[in-house]
Amino acid sequence: MIAQNIASLLLKEKAVFLRPEEPFTWTSGIKSPVYCDNRLLISSVEARNLIIKAMVDVIKPMKAQVIAGTATAGIPWAAWVAHEMNLPLIYVRSSVKEHGRQNAIEGTASPRQSVVLLEDLVSTGKSSIAAAQKLQEADLNVLGVLSIFTYGFSDAQEFFDKAKVPFISLSNFDTLAQVAFEQKFLDAGALQKVLEWRKAVSLN
């Protein structure tokens, strides 16, 4: 049920844009009928409360000792979750700092501590895996990557599997498409079109 609730929230907060007839072009060149901007969610108290609770429910059984966020989109969620769980917070830079101590990770964690990495959105998964690997290089035990939303590309899951980084998402593309159809954001034809697009995307 949480996947449906998150999908409904994304639509309500207009964090998801649906344009099956006029696809968006991603940086990678992929033409997508959907564009997701989860950064809009940080301004919504309702979204914040729902997502933080859902993340905490997932993380608690994992026995994490540290909460990490990806820079920059994962940082607010990691900060809120770390506060809620009374755990230390760190974040992973997208690139190594060019001055000072040239840190890849900000904040402190002890070697071999268990960490969960929070991300707002996973598309190809490559940036999330790179961040997880930076944590591993710092001798931290990465329990997994947890995102708010994923497009659910099969290639992306293969990337996570190959890197041996567990991946969990609160919601996903197929659930979003179904909820969008039920709430009349998409008609039956558009629903079929976006689902076929998701299955056909190749990231290799």
**Is the CA virtual torsion 41, 198, 55, 141 positive or negative?**
negative
How many degrees, rounded to 5, is the angle at CA 71 between CA 57 and CA 48? 40
Amino acid at residue number 6? I
Task: Please give the pLDDT value at position 152.
Answer: 95
pLDDT digits (tens, 9 = 90+) for 152-177: 999 999 999 999 999 999 999 999 99
Task: Please give the pLDDT value at position 96.
Answer: 66
Q: Rounded mean pLDDT of 12-33?
A: 92
Beta pairing class for 89-92 and 16-18: unpaired
**Is the CA virtual torsion 106, 112, 114, 117 positive or negative?**
positive
State pTM to two decimals. 0.95
| CATH, domain range 2-200 | 3.40.50.2020
Q: DSSP assignment of 121-146, as one string?
A: EESSSHHHHHHHHHHHHTT-EEEEEE
Task: Please give the pLDDT value at position 101.
Answer: 54
